[in-house]
């Protein structure tokens, strides 16, 4: 059985297979490097395909449908993310655009809250 969108997203964030999407702010917010995420995750085909959409617009629509809202990343958040990506030898490019999303029921250390992330 396929996982619901929030569960799938949470699993990806937990397992670290893609550096273009990470937990920030102690696991209460997720950050997405829009360009790299589009190329490395959404463009996947066949058995490696992660999400049902291959467009960033469709992916962002799913985030909104499940109550994840875009928030402004502060300089501290951006610095932490840059530091993490640099350690992983995949430093963001100068034109990386990070998108930050938050939902009080979508947290790194609280998977039991995922059941509250219902489609609107």
**Which CATH number does the domain housing residue 52 bear?**
1.10.10.10
Confidence at 108, pLDDT banded by 50, 70, 90? very high
Contact in structure between 99 and 32 (CB atoms under 8 Å)? yes
Question: pLDDT per residue over 4-48, tens digit each?
Answer: 899 999 999 998 778 899 998 889 999 999 999 999 999 988 888
10 part of a folded domain: yes
- Which structure tokens are listed for 14? 């937990």
Residue 47 has phi, psi (to 5 degrees) of: -65, -15
35 part of a folded domain: yes
3-class state of residue 8 by DSSP: helix
Range of the domain at 30: 5-75+96-116
15 part of a folded domain: yes
86 part of a folded domain: no
Number of domains in the chain: 1
Burial 63-86 (b: 16+ CB within 10 A, else e): beebbbeeeebeeebbebbeebbe
Confidence at 91, pLDDT banded by 50, 70, 90? low
> What's residue 87's pLDDT?
53
CA 70, CA 52: separation in Å to the nearest integer? 21
84 part of a folded domain: no
> What's residue 18's pLDDT?
84
81 part of a folded domain: no
């Amino acid at each position: 059985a396929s996982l619901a969108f929030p569960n799938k997203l949470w699993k990806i964030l937990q397992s670290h297979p893609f550096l273009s999407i990470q937990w920030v702010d102690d696991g209460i917010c997720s950050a997405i490097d829009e360009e790299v995420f589009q190329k490395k995750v959404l463009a996947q085909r066949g058995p490696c395909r992660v999400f049902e959409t291959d467009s960033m617009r469709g992916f962002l629509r799913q985030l909104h449908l499940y109550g994840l809202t875009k928030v402004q990343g502060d300089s501290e958040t951006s610095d932490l993310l840059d530091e993490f990506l640099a350690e992983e030898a995949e430093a963001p490019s100068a034109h990386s655009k990070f998108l930050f999303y938050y939902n009080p029921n979508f947290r790194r250390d609280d998977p039991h809250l995922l059941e509250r992330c219902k489609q609107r």
